Structure 1
Amino acid sequence: MKLSVFSAKPYDKTYFEAAHAEAASSDSIKVTYHDFPLNEETVSFIKDTDAVCAFVNDSLHGAVIDMLAERGVKAILLRCAGFNHVDLDAAARHGIMVANVPSYSPEAVAEFAVALLQTLNRNTHRAYNRAREGNFALNGLLGRTLHGKTVGILGVGKIGLATARIMKGFGCRVIAFDPFPSKAFEEYGEYRDLDTLLAESDVISLHCPLMEKTKHIINDQNIAKMKKGVLLVNTSRGGLIDTKAVIKALKTHHIGGVALDVYEGEGDLFYDDHSGEIIHDDVLMRLMTFHNVIVSGHQAFFTVEALTEIAECSLRNLEEFMKTGSCANALGNTDKGAKKSSLPVRNV
């Protein structure tokens, strides 16, 4: 079985090679790495490949799936939980299996979400830069005690649940909204409808997948329902937030601060160094001018444990496909997939 891994950074190769060496069928799998993304322009590079392994910002829409099928690709392995970038119906038409990594170190993403929240709330990023310049003044660094505050969590999959557990430990009141409620959350907080959560929360943390019903769930109308001064954290999918609406709310001080590890236009930017270039995304550049906005480059998943599980699970999916023609993590059509992914982890 010949596997082509796309968007492969040096760390991906390191962990894949380690997992490959330990895999039961390592001799039966030949892996080729490409540092460029898989999309309509690069799919032509695929020759004599049985399976492709793609990442979160690779493009697997219908036209790409058609070209993969023409080249004899039988399986698409996603190094992530989310699959909003894949046309599952097109894959099903061609008999191409699509499998994801449904769960990998949810605590890693939850811990990072809380780290972003703490940094945003207590201005530690600004204090760090000041201190390096010999400025130890406290003006402008005032934060709020999180103990006793209400934290609203949108989406209580494994990551949302891990975040709730941490915030409960901080002494916060935790509430959540999820159309597929889990009993496990009730140990840490209470479910609310969306409007109530927006109105009561001092902090809102997003942990839901991106699909038709959740795209731009943070929009002008829902922002208007939020408390003035609310802190917003997103470590899930950039498309959950209407960035222009958030910018307007920051300018009026309705939103008190935003911490983002994802951005709706991240596809052409994240995971690469653009420090020597002019970035032409005017919306992102405007967003980053606010002192109460933190943007990181989709790194919440980025731990040793998560990279290990991603590589091992991707290869397990392929091994199982080689033996049976499918695997336990195979995704069905769009409707079935949406139901399956309503609870999972961060869609890295």
Structure 2
Amino acid sequence: MKILMYSTFEFEKPFIEKAIHGKLELVYTSENLNEDTVALSEGFEGISLFTSDFASTPILEKLYHFGIKYIALRSVGHDHIDLKKARALGIKVANVPAYSPFSIAEHAVTLLLALNRKIVLGQKLMEMGDYRLDNLLGFDLHEKTVGIIGTGKTGSAFAKIMHGFGCDLLCYDPIINQELIQQINIKYSTLEMLCQNADIISIHCPLNTSSKYMFNKSLFNQMKKGVFFINTARGKIVNTEDLIQAINKGIVAAAGLDVYEKERPIFFKNHVNKKNNDHMYTILRSLPNVLITGHQGFLTNEALQGIANTTIANFNAWAYNDTSENELEP
């Protein structure tokens, strides 16, 4: 099977090469899948997409015209592809349903600790030769109430880490994780009650029609004043304008973000010496109590190897059996 790997980054190539087996011929391109690059897929039977790619209805129709039968996503999330259209066209789509849950969970903790203990500001002051501690006050995580949105694999990993800090854990998820309840002391609540009581809120749920802009002005206004807000899930779960307003009001004392709702044209690219035209992102970056990383939560050796292994396994399953256990339904 001949496969085009869209949006290939240098950091992932070694892991993909290590995972390759079977009768697969891979061709790499750093180009994103879009209206201008869809023609690159001509002559291939399958393509692989990253979160920076966009497989809309018109693009899927063109992919079908060019002979694409299989699309393997190098991600858990699939909000960047129109699954209903893909199914209607007979194009099979599979994702990576799970890889190291610790990578993103640990990154969420990293953002929290860096914000709380003023690590970035402390380093800037030291570089200036200012060793005063007046502006570096933090708080103990011990016995703080941590609200966790989503208790799947990543949310569960985050919960276990925060349990180790001695935090009280308040969770929200339509599906109760009974196994997690048996392992550590957690409580489930409504989303509103969680927001009213949590000192720290961390998002670990998927983006779908129910979660899009889940965090908006109404929910921020219900939060305890001074809450720390962490999002390592998907940008569009949060209304950024409302988040900025909540920060300016002092409702959100600090925000750690590995995702941003309009990140597609920004993240994963080199913008040195280029003008940023996203006014909202400029405002967000300018806030001293906001720490943004460029969607790097998944960037560990273990996670990248897991993503590569499953992606190659999906293509091999299609090549030999025309079906993969990781195929997605609309």
TM-score scaled by length of structure 2: 0.98
**Aligned equivalent of 2:27:** 32
- 1:84 partner letter: D
Alignment of structure 1 residues 36-75 onto 2, 5 Å = 36-75=31-70
Does residue 244 (structure 1) correspond to residue 234 (structure 2)? The answer is no
Aligned to 1:8: 8
Counterpart selection for 1:203 from 195, 200, 205: 200
Letter in 2 for 1:11: F
Work out the CA distance in 2 between the residues paired with 1:258 and 1:320.
42
1:343 is aligned to none
| Whole-Å separation in 2 of the counterparts to 1:184 and 1:236 | 22
Residue in 2 that maps onto 1:116: 111
Shift of 1:210: 0.6
Structure 1 residue 300, shift from structure 2 partner: 0.5
Whether 1:93 aligns to 2:88 is yes
Deviation at 1:278, TM superposition (A): 1.0
Partner Cα distance (1:156, 1:38) in 2: 32
2:142 alignment partner, one of 144, 147, 161: 147
Distance 1:32 1:98 in 2: 19
Q: How many pairs were matched up?
A: 328
CA distance in 1, matches of 2:28, 2:74: 14
Any unmatched runs of 5+ in structure 1?
A: 334-348
The reply on whether 1:291 has 2:292 as its aligned counterpart is no
CA deviations 1:45-73 (Å, max 9, x no partner) are 22210000000120011111111111110
1:123 & 1:198 partners in 2: Cα distance?
24
SS at match of 2:19: helix
Partner amino acid, structure 1, of 2:267:
F
Q: Which amino acid aligns with 2:130?
A: N
User: Which whole-Å CA distance do the structure 2 matches of 1:289 and 1:140 have between them?
Assistant: 18
Q: Secondary structure at the match of 2:223?
A: coil
TM-superposed CA distance for 1:182, in Å, is 1.2
In 2: Cα distance, 1:290 partner to 1:142 partner: 18
Tell me how far 1:138 sits from its aligned partner. Answer: 1.0
**Cα distance in 1 between the residues matched to 2:117 and 2:180:** 27
Equivalent positions of 1:300-311 (< 5 A) are 300-311=297-308
The one-letter code matched in structure 2 to 1:284 is Y
Residue number in structure 2 paired with 1:168 = 163
Distance 2:30 2:44 in 1: 16
CA distance in 1 between counterparts of 2:73 and 2:57 reads 16
Distance 1:40 1:217 in 2: 30
CA displacement, residues 97-116 of structure 1 (integer Å, 9 cap, x when unaligned): 10000111101111110010
Which residue does the alignment assign to 2:258? 261
CA positional deviation for 1:140:
1.5
Moved over 2 A (4+): none
Pairwise CA RMSD of aligned residues? Answer: 0.8
Q: Shift of residue 185 of structure 1? A: 2.3
Q: Which residue number in structure 1 is paired with residue 123 of structure 2?
A: 128
Query: Aligned partners of 1:57, 1:201: CA distance in 2, in Å?
Result: 32
- Letter of the structure 1 residue corresponding to residue 222 of structure 2: K
More displaced stretch, 246-255 vs 181-190? 181-190
Q: Which has the higher contact order (CA 8 A, sep 6+)?
A: 1
Aligned to 2:19: 19
CA distance in 1 between partners of 2:6 and 2:125 (Å): 40
- What's the CA shift for 1:40? 1.7
TM-score of the two chains, using structure 1 as the length reference? 0.93
- Aligned partner of residue 266 in structure 1, secondary structure: coil
Unaligned runs of 5+ in 2: none
The structural deviation recorded for 1:325 is: 1.2
Query: Residue by residue, what CA displacement relative to the aligned partner does 1:282-303 show, whole Å, maximum 9, x if unpaired?
Result: 1011011111100000000000
Q: Separation in 2 of the partners of 1:14 and 1:99?
A: 22
Q: Which moved more, 1:256-265 or 1:32-41?
A: 32-41
Cα deviations by residue, 1:178-207 (Å, 9 ceiling, x for unpaired): 011111221331111111111110000000
* Aligned-residue offset at 1:239: 0.4
| 1:23-53 alpha-carbon deviations (Å, 9 max, x no partner) | 2x1xx11100010101122101222100000
